[in-house]
């Protein structure tokens, strides 16, 4: 499939494009690989090393693959960005390269999965890992080393502190300030954010059955309302997880954490 590159766009000879549309005044640097069917609007800047998959829509004034804002970063570092397929990346989004701080574990990569909807002015910093089917509302921002699970929704102006994780199917309300781990399925609100409930409406929309939601709700109450020590909470979740794969997901998430839970 032939590329469609506007005459005013600048595409480096060392970039690899396969059936890509590139809009006016966009710059694509060396080391950028872009898959078939991806559309890039005007005035975007894409820098390598970066790999972008198929059928993405990247709107005007995005900055993707630039060196991170971490002071230790150098242009010659072998760090990168990897973006999957079918993402919509709206105006003024910035996604930055990883750092050498996680080169051994993540090969210095910032990664974004597939089928994500990332709205205006969102920022994904160095060494972040974003899953698939997420929604980032306007101005949601991730500090470095953040992990976002599949199907997460970040409300507008959500701020996520460095090294924090947000588990699959979790939800943050408008302007949430998240500085601790948010387990899968949990809704948080406020700044600092506090847990409010499980994301029951989101689960209903995704086809979860009532008998699947019930143990998730029980696990939530165990974590946040039982008043038990976290060691006791983990033991009870492990027991519940033998009967519910969704609770097992929550138990595994809590067991792997480096930061305290958002409580």
Asked whether the bond before 192 is cis by omega within 30 degrees of 0, the reply is yes
The pLDDT of residue 67 is above 90: yes
Domain 4-148 -> CATH class: mainly beta
pTM over 0.85: yes
Of 190, 201, 202, 214, give the one whose Cα is nearest residue 262.
190
Domain ranges of the chain: 4-148, 204-255
Quick one: average pLDDT of 60-71? 97
pLDDT, tens digit (0-9, with 9 covering 90-100), for 101-127 = 999 999 999 999 999 999 999 999 999
pLDDT at position 13 is 97
The pLDDT of residue 77 is above 90: yes
CA 10, distance to chain mean position in Å, is: 29
Q: Tokens in use for 16?
A: 């690899």
CA 9 to CA 28: how far, in whole Å?
8
pLDDT at position 228 is 81
User: Of the residues 126, 145, 169, 246, which is catalytic?
Assistant: 126
Q: Tokens in use for 174?
A: 């408008």
User: Of the residues 29, 35, 41, 144, which is catalytic?
Assistant: 144
**CATH for the stretch 204-255:** 1.20.1180.10
Quick one: average pLDDT of 67-72? 96
User: Of the residues 35, 41, 123, 127, which is catalytic?
Assistant: 127
**55-67 burial string, b = 16+ CB within 10 Å, else e?**
bbebbbbbbbbbb
pLDDT at position 29 is 98
The pLDDT of residue 202 is above 90: yes
The pLDDT of residue 177 is above 90: yes
User: Do the first three CATH levels of 4-148 and 204-255 match, i.e. the same topology?
Assistant: no
Asked about 53 being catalytic, the answer comes back as no
Asked about 144 being catalytic, the answer comes back as yes
């Amino acid at each position: 499939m032939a590329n469609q590159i506007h005459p005013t766009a600048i595409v480096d000879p060392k970039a690899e494009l396969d059936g890509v549309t590139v809009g006016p005044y966009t710059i694509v640097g060396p080391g950028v690989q872009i898959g078939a069917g991806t559309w890039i609007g005007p005035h975007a800047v894409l820098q390598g090393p970066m790999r972008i998959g198929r059928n993405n829509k990247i709107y005007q004034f995005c900055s993707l693959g630039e060196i991170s804002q971490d002071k230790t970063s150098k242009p010659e570092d072998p760090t990168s960005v990897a973006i999957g397929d079918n993402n919509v990346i709206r105006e003024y989004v910035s996604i930055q390269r990883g750092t050498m701080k996680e080169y051994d574990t993540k090969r210095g990569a910032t990664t974004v999965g597939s089928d994500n909807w990332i709205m205006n002015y969102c920022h994904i910093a160095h060494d972040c890992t974003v899953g698939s089917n997420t929604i980032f509302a306007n101005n949601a921002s991730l500090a470095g080393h953040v992990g976002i699970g599949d199907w997460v929704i970040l409300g507008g102006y959500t701020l996520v502190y460095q090294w924090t994780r947000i588990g699959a199917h979790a939800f943050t309300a408008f302007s949430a300030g998240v500085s601790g781990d948010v387990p899968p399925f949990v809704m948080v609100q406020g700044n600092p954010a506090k847990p409010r409930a499980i994301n029951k409406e989101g689960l209903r929309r995704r086809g979860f059955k009532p008998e699947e939601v019930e143990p998730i709700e029980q696990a939530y109450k165990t974590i946040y309302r039982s008043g038990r020590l976290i060691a006791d909470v983990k033991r009870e979740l492990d027991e519940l997880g033998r009967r519910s794969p969704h609770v097992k997901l929550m138990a595994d998430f809590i067991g792997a954490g480096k930061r305290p839970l958002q409580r």
